[in-house]
């Protein structure tokens, strides 16, 4: 059994969905509906955020961006404001991990959950049909209409578990 498919109901590789608008078009629509301008800085940030599928915090994004004086420089305030707008526009999800706000692609990706290694801070995505069935069953039992859910399972990843098991000679004395 591979890491990507754990039986028929769990997958650990979350694939993007077909969407009618690009993230750039969706964000532009959102800004227009709010009477806000689509600036070159905002366009550049959306391209950077959606150029790769990863989880990140604002500081990690800022580290990837051009520095002051370089072409396409974006101020820290604009980064934070645009990330907040991306969440409001339904492009990104955000959640708290270890006192930092982590962003995750929402638009163009299916509902998924996460495994979080508390040692190396790796965040892994997975989808589970069984989990969705349990969620929907519990909600129906209580007459509750599900809009979304978020689950983050915290523990130790395989790599960190393996490195912990390797004993140094001095530890065996």
* Ordered per-residue pLDDT tens for the chain, 173 residues: 344 544 557 888 788 899 999 999 999 999 999 999 999 999 999 999 999 999 999 999 999 999 999 999 999 999 999 999 999 999 999 999 999 999 999 999 998 999 999 999 999 999 999 999 999 999 999 999 999 899 999 999 999 999 866 655 555 55
CB 31 within 8 A of CB 41: no
CA distance 114 to 60: 19
Sketch out the chain's domains with CATH numbers: 1-17+110-173 (3.30.1490.190), 18-107 (1.10.10.10)
Closest CA to 125 of 9, 1, 10: 10
The two tokens of residue 156 are 């130790």
Q: Using CB atoms within 10 Å of the CB of residue 80, give its burial: 0 to 12 exposed, 13 to 18 middle, 19+ buried.
A: middle
- Residue position matching structure tokens 């072409």: 71
Instruction: Give the pTM.
Output: 0.82
């Amino acid at each position: 059994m591979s890491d990507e498919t754990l039986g028929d109901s769990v997958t650990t590789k979350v694939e993007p969905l077909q969407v009618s608008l690009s993230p750039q078009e969706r964000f532009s629509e959102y800004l227009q509906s709010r009477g806000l301008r689509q600036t070159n800085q905002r366009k550049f940030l959306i391209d950077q955020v959606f150029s790769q599928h990863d989880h990140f915090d604002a500081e990690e994004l800022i580290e990837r961006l051009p520095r002051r004086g370089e072409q396409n420089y974006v101020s820290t305030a604009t980064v934070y404001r645009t990330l907040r707008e991306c969440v409001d526009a339904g492009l990104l999800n955000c959640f708290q991990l270890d006192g930092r706000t982590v962003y995750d692609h929402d638009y163009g990706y299916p509902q998924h959950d996460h495994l979080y290694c508390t040692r190396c801070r790796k965040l892994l995505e997975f989808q589970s049909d069984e989990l969705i069935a349990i969620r929907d069953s519990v909600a129906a039992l209580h007459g509750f209409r599900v809009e979304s859910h978020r689950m983050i399972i915290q523990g130790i990843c395989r790599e960190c578990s393996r490195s912990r098991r390797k004993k140094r000679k001095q530890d065996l004395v």
